[in-house]
Amino acid sequence: MSLKNTYILGIESSCDDTAAAVLRNGEILSNVVANQTIHESYGGVVPELASRAHQQNIVPVVDQALHKAGISCNDLNAVAFTQGPGLMGSLLVGTSFAKSLAYGLDIPLIDVNHMQAHVLAHFIEKDGYKKPSFPFIAMTISGGHTQIVLVEDYFKMTIIGETIDDAVGEAFDKSGKILGLGYPAGPEIDKLAKLGNPIAFKFTKPKVKGLNFSFSGLKTAILYFIQKQVKENPRFIEENINDICASIQYTIINILMDKLKLAVSETRVSQIAIGGGVSANSGIRNALKEAEGQYGWSTYLPALEFTTDNAAMIAIVGYLKFNNKQYAKQSIMASSRLKI
């Protein structure tokens, strides 16, 4: 028996990456991301510039995704798009484009929650990657979010912990800014940390009750530490960059791992999946791999291409919703504060 293929186009534009992907059933045929380099010189994402860049990128990015997948838009069965959360001006570009395309092709439109997509990216078919079974704990760690989510089914997710101030990606990026690194600094800190001593400098971990996080105090502690050291030795940063990065990363990973241990003991669920840009970090990936032997957890690390913002994760959620006929109406609006 031959089953008819389902082709879903995923569109992501919630922050500063314009992305499109084509999925055939559970398998990715193309995954195109246009990164916006314009923000680098500002040390952070400038919303108005992001929105303008999305407008320039959206057509070529979708066109390339279809081309790479070897299909035409007439082969599509549905268009899935990020409804939120994210920057309103950015979300509006993807939302309006997806609505028009679905309307023009007369195919279903499917709304996707960006944070659910970071969790459900684990269900993309990929050689060498296993899928978690329910229930599992997902920790979504990105530039905009830090959450611990109990996932009981594809669309039954409960936030059991989250940051009360900065996201963990911001902790990386703001520390990098203090050190004079480029934006986003996470990948650079990760690289520099590999050659450093993680216990060279000690930063106190924030004391936040339960499963919630706080990263703004850590950022301030790092700022004061660096200012004090630079006063004594103006070359302190360049002479110690590897040790500083390794120590910052080590502190952040300890904070994340402590909360995961607490989440496992509170829920008695020991399948752990991570998602979001910071899940690309080699330190957190190693810590989770070690936790398999150390604590008997089963851990799920996304393929690197599905860690930072991408449209493949939007397309997989689109596919899961398509199978349930969960379509959106043309009147749907972008929602910058959409909850999981």
117 contacts 82 by C-beta, under 8 angstroms: yes
78 contacts 107 by C-beta, under 8 angstroms: yes
319 SS3 class: helix
Residue 41: Cβ within 10 Å count: 9
- 10 binds ligand KG4 per the rule CB under 6 A: no
Of 12, 111, 166, 190, which lies in the binding site for ligand KG4, with binding defined by CB under 6 A? 190
Query: In angstroms, what CA-CA distances link 139 with 37, 82, 229, 245, 314?
Result: 27, 20, 34, 23, 18
Start-end of H helices in the chain: 47-69, 88-105, 114-120, 168-178, 186-193, 216-232, 236-267, 282-295, 312-323
Of 10, 94, 108, 184, which lies in the binding site for ligand KG4, with binding defined by CB under 6 A? 184
Of 108, 143, 161, 196, which lies in the binding site for ligand KG4, with binding defined by CB under 6 A? 143
Letters for 80-119 (x = contact with ligand KG4 by CB under 6 A, - = none) are ----------------------------------------
Cα 246 off chain centre by: 22
Scanning 152-160, 186-194, 219-227, 261-269 for contacts with ligand KG4 by CB under 6 A, the matching segment is 186-194
Of 248, 280, 314, 320, which lies in the binding site for ligand KG4, with binding defined by CB under 6 A? 280
Of 122, 281, 301, 317, which lies in the binding site for ligand KG4, with binding defined by CB under 6 A? 281
- 277 binds ligand KG4 per the rule CB under 6 A: yes
Spatial separation of the C-alpha atoms in residues 151 and 168, rounded to whole Å = 21
- 18 binds Zn ion per the rule CB under 5 A: no
Q: How far is the CB of 17 from Zn ion (least distance, A)?
A: 9
Q: Which residues bind ligand KG4 (CB under 6 A)?
A: 15, 142-144, 169, 172-173, 184-187, 190, 276-278, 280-281, 308-309
